[in-house]
Amino acid sequence: MRECEKCAGLWIEPAAFEKICADREQQSAVLGVASPVPAHHVSISDQPITVSYVPCPQCGQLMNRINFAHCSGVIVDVCKGHGTWFDRDELREIVDFIRGGGFEVSRRKEKMEIERERQQLHEDQLVAAQSSNTLRLLDEDDERIGGLSAAGGLLKFLID
């Protein structure tokens, strides 16, 4: 873990971050050293939103911005192979999210999304099967009509 003295941001490698997420003692350590939000802190909704991608301190590639656990509201910069950059107070916010049951909420949302996708797939399969049956019936009707038309033509030829 490395800290930027200028902005109070933190760079954490993947193994160390996983340990923080899984270990309550590590979380307590983070909460113990994390700087509290200053009293004059302006809420995010009052600030203009500017998105900027920052390079990974190790490889120099631009990092991906992700919403931690897809629902925490904490946007962090991630280099998949090297680590995660946390702006001031973001790591504390993530620990608060985890301790407040955020992972369970995230898992429930993921399960609901998977179930919704499964139901949509089932509905799409039913529609496709019905379309296939309809097309098959139409093809059979076309064959009957074609056969009747040919028989009518033959009878007309024989009668005339």
Identity of the amino acid at 1: M
Question: Which of 15, 10, 16 lies closest to 33 in space, CA to CA?
Answer: 10
Position 106 in a domain: no
- Average pLDDT (80-97) is 92
- Average pLDDT (38-53) is 62
| Domain with 129 in it | 113-160
Whether residues 55 and 126 share a domain: the answer is no
Whether residues 119 and 91 share a domain: the answer is no
Q: Which helix (H) or strand (E) holds 34?
A: none
Position 28 in a domain: yes
pLDDT at 21 over 60: yes
- Beta strands across the sheet bearing 83-86: 2-3, 10-12, 83-86, 75-79, 64-67
Sign of the CA dihedral running 109, 110, 115, 121: positive
Position 139 in a domain: yes
What is the pLDDT confidence band of residue 39, given thresholds at 50, 70 and 90?
very low
Buried b or exposed e, range 11-40, using 16+ CB within 10 angstroms: bbeeeebeebeeeeebbeebeeebeeeeee
pTM: 0.59
pLDDT at 40 over 70: no
Strand-pairing partners, residue 2, are: 11
Whether residues 82 and 120 share a domain: the answer is no
Whether residues 51 and 94 share a domain: the answer is yes
Whether residues 93 and 29 share a domain: the answer is yes
